[in-house]
Structure 1
């Protein structure tokens, strides 16, 4: 096993490879149930690391994932990084079995191992990245499939709502799935990409979603409209859905897609 294998660099792969049977991706090309997403965050310390990781993603990993039935791979940089930008990678899977079969295939793909050797076998003294933080998310019932926006200049907002307890987290998800909150976002033109519950990953319990705008001015206008929307006010006024009960931290990260991003 190669030390920097793309598929063994996270706990997620080891867990699912153990508990799920391998399946041919050919049986997974028509998703009928909620999708799963892997959200990766690469921490980098230099432009050289960023170039190495991006070249691997663009030239090797994304083409291989597409061959294995992954329809969309999004790669984003931070709009305003505090230092060297982090890379955010969103990978769409049709199911858990699809995730398992794809990750196992990476280990046996000789062409990928050869083409991606600079990344996969980077020496310890000059690593390809500092660390990967990875989460596995299950799509919400009310938006079970990723919706890629129109391919034009856009900005993306990645939001995460953390809850103090699992019960509170489930109740917040209920607002989106059962009370129409997702529909409010869509009606107001937020162009949501996905909603997902983190089933494996840090800062649990949490839910994560991605929305997109033409620019920062459009972002401000959309959120202003959301805050004054009568339907949203009706939903949020229900005592059991008060944010003070369900959410104890919200993070927002503004992202820009790379030129080769499929989202």
Structure 2
């Protein structure tokens, strides 16, 4: 029993347990998405610019299974390449749907970067359809693209191992040490650093850094330069936004996009409430209580 207790309390075992828990949680989340959305692979990473500026390289798109009869002109869909069925899927926008004499759906698509006509895959049979894009999450897919090559994979794995070693040696200094670090100038520096980081991320989520992402306003500006500011409409929702454009006399809906700006702003507010406001209020209440007791 003592041996088992020592193993359980060891830093290495705790670290491995946390890693295993993280992988299990990720697996359960992915399995749940597969069941809910009805597709084998509900998440795809955009790796080409054929749908820019609606979908950018490095975006993650969430795909839901739909029947061909549920599709409409303007929907963004993911489908298998008719010429290379087991290759990388294609993400394009529907421009035409027709039903042949046998009742088979034939779908024509094109990338937003091209805008007119049809792509080289069209018309393609609806049996190649994987699903419809229901959500876009900017930036996150860049990590996958970064580590997709062998050399970068080795770099990332090495970095993770170094972090794990640092955690094992410096992650368990005890409660007293943690309390000491939470006091004085160290705590002020910590609060300042986190606030600075969050503010920088908020600004990045709005304007981006060009090759590393365009940001919400950056995407709006790209569309405005292409179609004219009077034809571009930014539609805000809760934790989401969408950029619609009037193209050739008709409204073309953009992809519903997760709003990093709203999310990071909420994190910034919650952080300052819990780390700044609550301690100040608690300190004043304790001080008033002490004065009354005296």
Shared topology, TM-score over 0.5? Answer: no
- TM-score w.r.t. the length of structure 2 is 0.24
Higher-RCO chain (CA-CA 8 Å, sequence separation at least 6) = 1
- TM-score w.r.t. the length of structure 1 is 0.26
Larger Rg, first or second structure (1 or 2): 2
> Larger % of helix: which?
2
